[in-house]
Amino acid sequence: MNNTSTQSFEAWNMWAQYITYGLAGLSVLILIGHILKLAATSDSKTKYDYINRSEINILMTCSVLLIIAGGFYANSYIVELGILWLFVRLFVTISMGLIIGVIVQNLLKFYYPFYIEKRLKKLRYKPRISPKSGKPMKLLSEEEEDVYLDEGMQAEEEIFSIDYDVWVDEETGYTKIEKYSGHLHALQCPECNYQTFRVTKEEIMKSPSATEEGELLKHFECGYCGHKAKKNFKIAMLKNLEGEGAEA
Span 127-185, pLDDT tens digits: 999 999 999 999 998 778 888 888 777 776 766 667 889 999 988 999 999 988 765 55
Helix residue spans in 75-205 (DSSP H):
83-106, 112-124, 142-145, 151-158
Model confidence over 28-73: pLDDT tens digits?
999 999 999 999 999 999 999 999 889 999 999 999 999 999 999 9
Closest alpha carbon to 178 in 2, 48, 20, 90: 48
pLDDT of residue 225: 86
Closest alpha carbon to 125 in 53, 42, 44, 50: 44
Between 243 and 180, the more confident residue is 180
pLDDT of residue 238: 64
pLDDT of residue 247: 38
**CATH 2.20.25 domain extents, the chain:** 185-240
What angle, rounded to 10 degrees, do the helices at 44-74 and 112-124 form?
A: 160
For the domain spanning 185-240, the CATH number is: 2.20.25
